[in-house]
Amino acid sequence: MKLSTKGRYGLRAVLDLAVNYGQGQVSIRAIADRQKISEYYLEQLFKKLRKAGIVQSIRGAHGGYVLNRSPDEITAYEIIRILGETIEISECIEATTCSNIDSCATRPLWIRIKQSIDAVLKTTTLQDMVDDYKKITISKDGGQDE
Amino acid sequence: MKLSTKGRYGLRAVLDLAVNYGQGQVSIRAIADRQKISEYYLEQLFKKLRKAGIVQSIRGAHGGYVLNRSPDEITAYEIIRILGETIEISECIEATTCSNIDSCATRPLWIRIKQSIDAVLKTTTLQDMVDDYKKITISKDGGQDE
DNA sequence: TTTAATGTTGACAAAATTAGTCTGATTTCT
DNA sequence: AGAAATCAGACTAATTTTGTCAACATTAAA
Ligand code: FES
Ligand code: FES
């Protein structure tokens, strides 16, 4: 069970925007460079994020993307879902029923797992993650921003 | 993010054994029938379970499989891991470090998610699941065993 | 007004993983 | 001997994921 790169790359990219929140737009190329992700692939992901209203695009020369809301108002859950990542574990969990529910004793377990994952994702904002991240890097190299 | 059929089918199959625990061996064909899973595919899964000592095989005519331990001593976590299912979310979580950990702010999140999944799996025994299952079916059709 | 940088879109291709099947052997019971 | 089952490993098919590309649209700056 692994999150696909959609979710992993996408969240890292959005986090890059969160770190730079309030300092103007960031281009896909810059993110691709920093995060070592294909520029073309990121385009796909930002398409979804823009349609969902998470980010705003600034077109033209020196354009880029900006978060539409403050990082502490965006949860990891939103991002993951928008990127098309499903936290289903088993297909029949989101549905209210399942064709062979009578011979299946695993449903309650999958549901509990899904709930515990969702709980973590929903209570984690981008700001939380940025804070954690800064704590690590600062303790390592003495800080990089003024 | 989905559990592969290895984990889903495998756990259902083992649960089938757990329901019949103490009543002798169960053949793969019987499980395949009840759970609507390919007989050949199940063979693959039981191969792993046998090597890991979860089940014991009884060869020859009227053979089958039996749980090697009591259902309340086997956790869902064990089964899932033995079947080769990884609960990694991201590749670099099990490892103590990661090549681009410096530009990645998502690690703490993935770790917390993994821990919450593991917690659920480790605290759920086959017996727990059988109990849940019986509760449902009994309330539905008035019970099926004597 | 031109130019260059960037976003936008949809289609496509490559790679990896998962899922499922098959054949043949061995063992044990009747 | 014959039937019913496991055991082992190879093999294929299907699906999903990942990544790439080309053509176009929009805007800012020169
Ligand atoms: S297979 Fe659908 S609930 Fe288990
Ligand atoms: S990519 Fe390895 S820790 Fe995030």
What is the structure's pLDDT at A42? 95
CA dihedral A140, A141, A142, A144 (to 10 degrees): -120
**pLDDT tens, B73-132?**
999 999 999 999 988 888 777 666 666 676 678 999 999 999 999 999 999 999 999 999
Q: How far apart are CA A17 and CA A37, in angstroms?
A: 15
pLDDT tens series, chain A, 146 aa: 888 889 999 999 999 999 999 999 999 999 999 888 999 999 999 999 999 999 999 988 899 999 999 999 999 999 999 999 888 888 777 666 676 676 679 999 999 999 999 999 999 999 999 999 988 877 765 444 43
- Which residue from A minimizes the CA distance to B36? A100
Instruction: Give the DSSP H/E element, type plus range, for residue A48.
Output: helix A39-51
DSSP A68: S
Segment 110-139 of chain A within 8 Å of chain B by CB: 110, 112-113, 116-117, 119-121, 124, 129-130, 132-133, 137
8 Å CB contact of A117 and B116: yes
Q: Are B5 and A106 in contact (CB under 8 A)?
A: no
A7 Cβ contact partners less than 8 Å away, ≥ 6 residues apart: A79, A80, A83, A85, B1
Instruction: Report pTM.
Output: 0.91
Nucleotide nearest to B31 (CA to C1'): D5
- Give yes or no for residue A111 CB within 6 A of ligand 1: no
3-state secondary structure of A50: helix
Q: What are the structure tokens assigned to B125, written together?
A: 């025994």
Amino acid of residue B10: G
